[in-house]
Structure 1
Amino acid sequence: MNDTTTYRRFDPWRVAPVKEESRSQIVKTHYFNVDQVTLSTSKAGQFDRFVLQGNNGDGVGVIALTDDEKIPLVEQYRIPTHRWTLEIPGGHAVHSDESALDVAKRKLHEEAGYEATNFVQFSRFLNMSSFAEYHTSLFFATNLTRVSRGDFGPETPRPDVRLYTIDEAYEMAVNGTIVDAKTIIAILRLYSAPEHNLGQ
């Protein structure tokens, strides 16, 4: 019988099984950098890995809820996958002094066409821990007011905004219609929150 029971408490900060020997930056862009990292172990010897790091802080997503409990989702055309997606508003800081909350406010305005008086950060997660040292912070926005939207990039000049109930958004998150990770996480958290309130 193969007993796979683990009796010790999970500790994410226990001693690393590898030693970092060197690190050098090989790619630098506005949004991210890529480092080449040389590591070693007593059994495997030296080996290289490539680590993506975000610039100017976390990526940001903001799930908003209108007074009649609708979630604005933005149609986005995504070049890496050559497909359209439905996403909560989100993006990156344009300079190092722009906070995650400032990004949430700007993206809610630019992409969805809303301003909000209440913002609560409710989650922060690693995007792809196997190769990226990069987090996304999620915010919940309420008490919304409609405003005119801003400008967009060339890949999606004027994306449509669609309003869905919490139940409709949840159904799309679990049936595969919504494939964007930050959007799925935000919708599932909102759906499971008591009285659909992430600000509690």
Structure 2
Amino acid sequence: MQNHEENPWKITSEKEIYDNPWIKLTHYNVVTPTGTNGIYGKVHFKNRAIGVLPLDEEMNTYLVGQYRFTINQYSWEMPEGGGPLDEEPLDAARRELLEETGLKANQWTELVRMHLSNSVSDEYSICYLAQNLEQFEAEPEETEQLIVKKVPFAEVYKMVCDGTITDSMTVAAVLRAQLLILEGKL
């Protein structure tokens, strides 16, 4: 009897197509699970995606607005960034929150872990809830042109539900936080 959780793909050859400090693209010739010859492309991420949903005592959160090159549009999302794979994810979350918003949190809760696009990449994400916030000076990276706005969490939840916010990490974190609110855990 076949174990359906075992890898049915067979790699016959692979070739690195592109490599930079953030990603590597590899082309594979494969034998598919049905036994036919095929191809596959994989984007390997060299960092872990980190997201932080800050939530203050008045149930406000902080959104970061920026123009996203890859989708060619402006995006409102929670503070996010990349954390090296050998760095503690929570340390990366603390850094990203401070860099983008100037906030430091005294209470951290992991909200969700997820693959972001597992059909073409191995990018993995961890999202946190940050509470008991203190305001300091933001320290954005030189490539970032960010706008930060404080928004009631209920409004952000509506923005997720009506499709105004489309960033997958923000959507997942906001929906998880809303569930925790409905369960009386926040």
TM-score, scaled relative to structure 2 = 0.89
Matched residue SS, 1:188: helix
1:62-95 Cα distance to aligned partner (Å, 9 max, x none): 11111211110111111122211111001112x5
Q: Decide which moves more: 118-127 or 34-43.
A: 34-43
Residue identity over aligned pairs, in percent, reads: 25
State which of 27, 43, 47 in structure 2 corresponds to 1:36.
27
State which of 81, 97, 104 in structure 2 corresponds to 1:91.
81
Distance apart, 1:160 and its partner CA: 1.7
Task: Tell me if the contact between 1:31 and 1:92 (Cα under 8 Å) persists in the aligned partners.
Answer: no
* Aligned match of 2:176: 189
1:22-44 Cα distance to aligned partner (Å, 9 max, x none): 33322111111111122114855
Q: Decide which moves more: 27-36 or 137-146.
A: 27-36
Q: Work out the CA distance in 1 between the residues paired with 2:51 and 2:135.
A: 19
Task: Tell me if the contact between 2:8 and 2:33 (Cα under 8 Å) persists in the aligned partners.
Answer: no
2:166 is the counterpart of 1:179: yes
* Aligned match of 1:4: none
Which residue identity lines up with residue 129 of structure 1 in the other structure? Answer: N
Which structure has more strand as a fraction of its residues? 2
Distance apart, 1:176 and its partner CA: 1.1
Matched residue SS, 1:132: coil
Alpha-carbon distance change, 20 to 165 in structure 1, aligned in 2, over 3 angstroms: same
Distance apart, 1:60 and its partner CA: 0.5
1:139-161 Cα distance to aligned partner (Å, 9 max, x none): 1111110010013343x43x221
For the aligned residue pairs, the C-alpha RMSD in angstroms reads 2.0
Q: Work out the CA distance in 2 between the residues paired with 1:31 and 1:105.
A: 20
Q: Work out the CA distance in 1 between the residues paired with 2:166 and 2:113.
A: 18
Which residue identity lines up with residue 105 of structure 1 in the other structure? Answer: R
Q: Which residues of 2 match residues 158-169 of structure 1 at below 5 A?
A: 159-169=146-156
2:64 is the counterpart of 1:55: no
> Structure 1, unaligned stretches of length 5 or more?
1-10
